[in-house]
């Protein structure tokens, strides 16, 4: 791992010289995020966005920081902004699905995970989470399909086997 605390000193020095450097605010947010200073990271991501509202990565990282604080509605807004600016960003669709899942919006989670899988079909994590969203809304057939896809790409996840077994046990 790098030296985020030292990097923070340099970023702060740059900002003393010019507060309007959006990339410096973005990088400072990243360094603060690494040392788990989430509130400060959020403030710098927000400043980076004010200075450069077209940088998808700023919204994405802000969404990640907001999820750590369990501010899922705000995270959803930022992940949606990310995919508006970068519609090929599979991790943003995946995290959008996770945020929807955390507030029990399973239909919206399914849509977001489906978009993530469209961009990254061999992701065990995306397939697993899509299966979980289907499972939680009672769609066991689609859940089973995606748990098996997840198993195919990551055969070493015991939770996948448990979930497949549970669905097979309850299905008629």
Domain 1-53's class?
Answer: mainly alpha
User: How does pLDDT run across 18-60, given as a tens digit for each residue?
Assistant: 999 999 999 999 999 999 999 999 999 999 999 999 999 999 9
**Model pLDDT, residue 10:** 96
Q: Phi and psi at residue 86, in whole multiples of 5°?
A: -140, 85
**Contact (CB, 8 A) for 76 and 93:** no
* Cα gap 63→85, rounded to integer Å: 14
- For 35, the token pair is 């040392």
User: How does pLDDT run across 152-165, given as a tens digit for each residue?
Assistant: 999 999 999 999 99
* Cα gap 89→38, rounded to integer Å: 23
* Cα gap 47→55, rounded to integer Å: 12
**Model pLDDT, residue 172:** 65
Domain limits of the chain? 1-53
Dump the DSSP string for 91-116: HHHHHHHHHHHHTT-HHHHHHHHHHH
The residue among 147, 83, 136 whose CA lies nearest residue 112 is 83
Q: Does the model's pTM come out above 0.75? A: yes
């Amino acid at each position: 791992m790098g030296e985020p605390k030292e990097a923070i000193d340099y970023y702060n020095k740059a900002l003393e010289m010019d507060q309007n450097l959006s990339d410096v605010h973005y990088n400072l947010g990243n360094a603060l995020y690494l040392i788990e200073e989430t509130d400060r990271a959020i403030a710098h991501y927000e400043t980076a966005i004010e200075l450069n509202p077209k940088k998808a990565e700023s919204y994405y990282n802000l969404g990640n920081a907001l999820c750590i604080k369990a501010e899922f509605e705000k995270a959803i807004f930022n992940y949606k902004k990310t995919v508006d600016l970068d519609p090929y960003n599979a991790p943003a669709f995946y995290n959008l699905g996770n945020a929807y899942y955390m507030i029990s919006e399973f239909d919206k989670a399914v849509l977001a995970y489906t978009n993530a899988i469209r961009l990254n079909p061999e992701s065990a994590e995306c397939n697993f989470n899509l299966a979980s969203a289907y499972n939680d809304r009672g769609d066991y057939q689609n859940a089973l399909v995606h748990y098996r896809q997840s198993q195919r790409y990551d055969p070493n996840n015991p939770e996948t086997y448990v979930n497949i077994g549970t669905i097979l046990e309850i299905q008629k």
